[in-house]
Amino acid sequence: MRRLLVLAAIVALLAAGTASCGKADTIRKPGDECTPAKSLPSGSTQRTIESGGQLRHYLIHVPPGYDGSTRTPLVLLFHGLGGTPQGVIDTTSMAALADKNNAILVAPLARGRITEWDFKTPISQPTSDLAFVRNLVKEVKSDGCIDSSRVYAAGFSNGSVLALALACDGSTKFAAYGAVSGPYWNDSCRSSPPASIVYFHGLKDKTVPYAGGETVIGPLPPVNEVMASWASHDSCPAASATTTVSQHVRHFTWSKCKKGSDVNVYVVDNGGHRWPGGKPAPSGRVSGVMTQEIDASSLIWKFFDQHTAGGQ
């Protein structure tokens, strides 16, 4: 009888092990979950935040898979000059990718009648846009269950410059940056932490010239010079690897850089001031050819998936 009971117990254990095989359950470490859960309504919601004594606006998109207790990636998306949060989301299809990747997407609104990001005023000034982004990240992390090692920044044009200015400042910790049609670098960036960057620019961009020059948001440096500076800053190998992606797209990569960082650049030979692979929805001031040979949004998400960082 005793032998039968032992055998029954073994069978029960084996059955339990078989039943659990193939489940998506993972063994979580302390701190991997938010307790109590931080609930957020799914879908897109307009919200406001006070920053530097000013009321600022942003759109937050929460994926249907968000449960309030599982730490979730956060992506900030910055529109271009004269753009809107909804416009840049529509152009980039980032909300659909956020749902697919179970990430929270936040698209803030710049200031002004013609909306413009101030990327020059330092974060030490409470009314600066850099301080606004820092406060926004803190608020979303307070309200939602966010994975601090997977917070990312992306932007188009003026918003691209802001994303790289955040990398230059370095005090708000992002794991990686995605930037389209807006280069940025200055000497103050030298003291910032290594930054993983994926960047896109069209050779025939007349709004923000690839070779540098005057733009509606001020003078911007040449793309090659900027990206070489970021690669040097990250202590990357001296030479980049070059790949022909398609008829009009070349891909330059600097890998095995300091602290796991790397720099990727996609050059679209016939590209204008556009989001590659995007939709012709309003996202700010655009011009020229919008290539469909690559999808910048998907490539940015893929790049983000490859990078994590220490939490803020």
- Model pLDDT for residues 66-94, shown as the tens digit of each residue: 999 999 999 999 999 999 999 999 999 99
pLDDT of residue 280: 83
| Joined tokens for residue 39 | 């609930």
Question: Which of left, alpha, beta for 140 (phi over 0: left; psi -120 to 50: alpha)?
Answer: alpha
pLDDT of residue 26: 43
8 Å CB contact between 304 and 75: yes
Amino acid, single-letter form, for residue 198: V
Report the C-alpha gap between 195 and 53 in whole angstroms. Answer: 30
pTM for the full predicted model: 0.89
pLDDT of residue 48: 98
Amino acid, single-letter form, for residue 290: M
Which residues make beta-bridge pairs with 55? 50
Nearest CA-CA partner of 296 in 257, 270, 273, 266: 266
- The rounded Cα 283 to chain-centroid distance in angstroms is 17
Over residues 2-12, the mean pLDDT reads: 42
- Model pLDDT for residues 177-191, shown as the tens digit of each residue: 999 999 999 999 999
pLDDT of residue 3: 47
- Model pLDDT for residues 237-267, shown as the tens digit of each residue: 877 899 999 999 999 999 999 999 999 999 9
Report the C-alpha gap between 130 and 243 in whole angstroms. Answer: 35
Which residues make beta-bridge pairs with 242? 252
The Cα-based distances of 300 to 121, 127, 198 in angstroms read: 27, 29, 7
Query: Mapped to the 3 state alphabet, what secondary structure does 163-231 carry?
Result: HHHHHHHCCCCCCEEEEECCCCCCHHHHHCCCCCEEEEEECCCCCCCCCCECCCCCCECCHHHHHHHHH
Percent of the chain at pLDDT > 90 equals 83
- Model pLDDT for residues 104-153, shown as the tens digit of each residue: 999 999 999 999 999 999 999 999 999 999 999 999 999 999 999 999 99
- Model pLDDT for residues 144-174, shown as the tens digit of each residue: 999 999 999 999 999 999 999 999 999 999 9
| Joined tokens for residue 263 | 């720099």
* Residue 312 pLDDT exceeds 60: no
pLDDT of residue 310: 53
User: Using 50, 70 and 90 to split pLDDT, how confident is the model at 282?
Assistant: low
- Model pLDDT for residues 36-55, shown as the tens digit of each residue: 999 999 999 999 999 999 99
CA angle 166, 168, 172 (to 5 degrees): 45
* Residue 20 pLDDT exceeds 90: no
Measured torsion, CA atoms of residues 153, 266, 181, 280, in degrees rounded to the nearest 10:
-90
First-to-last alpha carbon distance for the chain, in angstroms, is 60
Question: Which of left, alpha, beta for 144 (phi over 0: left; psi -120 to 50: alpha)?
Answer: beta
Computed over every residue of the chain, the mean pLDDT equals 90
Coil, helix or strand for 87? helix
Which residues make beta-bridge pairs with 105? 61, 75
